[in-house]
Structure 1
């Protein structure tokens, strides 16, 4: 790397991607072979894969020091894996792509051009999705919902395919969140952010690591981490229900004492009101519990990612002392 060369960090989260990691490395390498004014480091965060992913990465890293690998001691989840990759990046900017290459590396030069125009964040807007119609509709509904609920402006139909500059990387290194939503964190930082449309490719090899349960958990993280509106909805509904209950009580009392109304036994009405109250209480306690659970995990620093191995990183990794922690010193710094 020469003095005038721009270093670009490529962030690639991986979990059981033995069929894709080498393809991803070669695709990124081919792109930068045609960008002589840019060099790259590829930071792969291995979420404790149980297949040959880490073995293949180790072989490539031994031959090319530009490939840097962080392997966690267990699966720490997609978002924390991604955040660790950003915190470990040392480039002038960083670009996140998926290991399955559904976000094509061939668009990296276009992203770099927009970055050099002065934008701190460049994100891809999915013009089309290769998911089924139900999953695609759910994704778009989620983007619209979180944008309505969030106090920050989150771009619709934007996934994880993005470029951030060094200033954003510096801010991400300060994050101590045990349940981060990285997309929302970056959007909330402001600065100049610009999107571009692209067609997401179909997965060529391997299986998706984002089943419905994982997407639902991501949706909860996105809403709870970036909005107090669910709590406000709970408070407003409780006030309305309390007021309605008070007026009904006054109505029944006046009708009984003033007009002598002899009300029949209202078993059905009582049962419906009781069930409605129990349902509302359970729902709102669940909302409060989501927030309290995050406060608890944050205060205890639970499930902080532990690095089991790291390859081709300097002795002092560019990550905060608290998040993540290192299990042991790397035996061989290449």
Structure 2
């Protein structure tokens, strides 16, 4: 289906959508996003990045590509994770602006119009704040606890009501793509970059189809990865806890010596056993935290590419289509020279 908007070589808006476990949402997503973008009236593209979803997502992407000339499908060689899939989409985006959104339609595509209008006011990027959440109560509470802990580590407050739904200018896109960290979080990178940011608010919709691919174990790993990526303060906490336990040990030793000399008694085996278990636990936790940082260093110094692209399905001259391996996508994650 051809767009009613005259196409040229200059794409104004690229919509980047990481796809995983969303085969029931793709057709609706493309249709609604396309209508919103046509309302804006500028040339656009929709980039669907298949993060090797185990369902029929790629087949649905192929169908959407055949139906809409603005849809480009990018299939990664394996599952790399949501945030690297976003990086792959941004590296391939041709637009002056890039909208990033999830594939499950909890972020309403109709709000793209508002994002674009807001960034045209002079902002470098615009973030969308969720004023209501469709997640379960347990997930909302755990998310608040996570961002509270992260805020304590960062010695500031972090608003957890923001998601990936956002629009970036080309300046911010290029700055984002200069990051080469493998352990990455989209919003944390934007927060580090700074730039002038606008905000819109919206209601978080229920998932259109399917269920979230984030299990409890994945959420925990994601949270730990985010903390390690964002802060080294955990190492300072280890030093502080070591100093506290050392001080407790010195005071306890002085007390035991005084008790023995004054009363001829000393602590029993129970207290010693508890103290040994406590100290051993603290030591193991400390080694584990240090090990996490060392593992991240190990992954980084190998300098492997962030991702590999298997196939790119795109239209040529608004008429034909091609399936090809795409060597033009910079898999290091750095900005492309266009």
Contact preservation (8 Å) 1:88, 1:317: no
**Residues 1:197 and 1:185: Cα distance change in structure 2 (over 3 Å):** same
Contact preservation (8 Å) 1:11, 1:95: yes
Partner of 1:29: 34
**Residues 1:32 and 1:274: Cα distance change in structure 2 (over 3 Å):** same
> Where does the alignment leave 5 or more consecutive residues of structure 1 unmatched?
325-334
Q: How does 1:167-206 map to 2 (within 5 A)?
A: 167-206=171-210
Asked if 1:320 is matched to 2:320, the reply is no
Q: In the aligned structure 1, how far is the partner of 2:315 from the partner of 2:215?
A: 32
Which of the residues 282, 285, 297 maps onto 1:283?
A: 285
Asked if 1:9 is matched to 2:14, the reply is yes
**Residues 1:2 and 1:82: Cα distance change in structure 2 (over 3 Å):** closer
Partner of 2:85: 81
Q: How does 1:98-247 map to 2 (within 5 A)?
A: 98-150=102-154, 154-247=158-251
Following superposition, which runs of at least 4 residues in structure 1 exceed 6 angstroms of deviation? 2-6, 313-316
Contact preservation (8 Å) 2:148, 2:158: no
Cα displacement (A) at 1:112: 1.0
Which of the residues 263, 280, 305 maps onto 2:265?
A: 263
Contact preservation (8 Å) 1:151, 1:226: no
SS in structure 2 at match of 1:312: strand
Partner of 2:322: none
Contact preservation (8 Å) 1:87, 1:318: no
**Residues 1:183 and 1:72: Cα distance change in structure 2 (over 3 Å):** same
Q: In the aligned structure 2, how far is the partner of 1:52 from the partner of 1:277?
A: 51
Scaled by the length of structure 1, what TM-score is found? 0.88
Asked if 1:52 is matched to 2:62, the reply is no
> Where does the alignment leave 5 or more consecutive residues of structure 2 unmatched?
1-5, 317-324
**Residues 1:3 and 1:23: Cα distance change in structure 2 (over 3 Å):** closer
Scaled by the length of structure 2, what TM-score is found? 0.87
Cα displacement (A) at 1:282: 1.3
Cα displacement (A) at 1:49: 2.2
Q: CA RMSD in A?
A: 2.4
Partner of 1:296: 298
Contact preservation (8 Å) 2:45, 2:72: yes
SS in structure 1 at match of 2:43: strand
Which of the residues 264, 267, 276 maps onto 1:274?
A: 276
